[in-house]
Amino acid sequence: MRKRSFILLEILIACSLLALCAAPLMSRPVFLYRSQMKALQNLELERLADLSFAEVKEMLLKNQIPWKKLPTEKKPKAEYPLPAIDLQIPHCEPSPMERKAIFTLQKEKLGIKGDLFLLLDVEIWFGPGDPPPKRKKNAPPRFHYRTIVKKVAVG
C-alpha cells in the first residue's frame, strides 16, 4: 500500500483548529498580566503621592513655600508646582510624571498668642495641565491629604 502525504489544506485546517483552541488559553494570562501591571502602576503612584506630600510638608516646615502662595479666605485655592518625578515600574521604561500640589483652605483660625493656623486640604495631582473638575475614566488619580500650617507671630 502506498502512503498518502498530507495536503496543504489539511495542514491549514489543523493549524487553524490549533489556533482556535490556543487563543482562549493565551488571552487569560495576557489579561492578568495587564491588570497586574495597572495595579502596580496605581500602587507606585500612591507611593509617589505619599512621597510628594512628605516633600510638601517639609517645604512648608522650612518655609520654602512662601506664605503668600498659600490660600487665604479671599483666595481659597492655590497651586504649587513640584519638580517632575519618574514613575519606575519593573520591566518598563521609566516615565516622567509632572506633579503639583493644590492647596484648598478649609479653615483659618487665629491662636491665643497671635499665631495664625490654616487647615489645608492638599491634593497631589499627577499629569500635565490642570486637573479636570470631575474624575474622568483614564485621568491620573488624585490623592488627598490634610495638614495644619502655623504662622508664628513675630514680635
Q: Which residue has the cell 509617589?
A: 48
* Four-residue CA torsion sign, 133, 136, 138, 144: positive
Distance CA 103, CA 94 (A): 28
Q: Model confidence over 5-56: pLDDT tens digits? A: 768 888 899 999 998 888 888 888 889 989 998 899 889 999 999 999 999 9
Do you know the residue count of the chain?
155
Spatial strand order of the sheet with 116-126 comes to 77-87, 95-110, 116-126, 142-151
Q: Model confidence over 77-97: pLDDT tens digits? A: 999 999 999 888 888 888 888
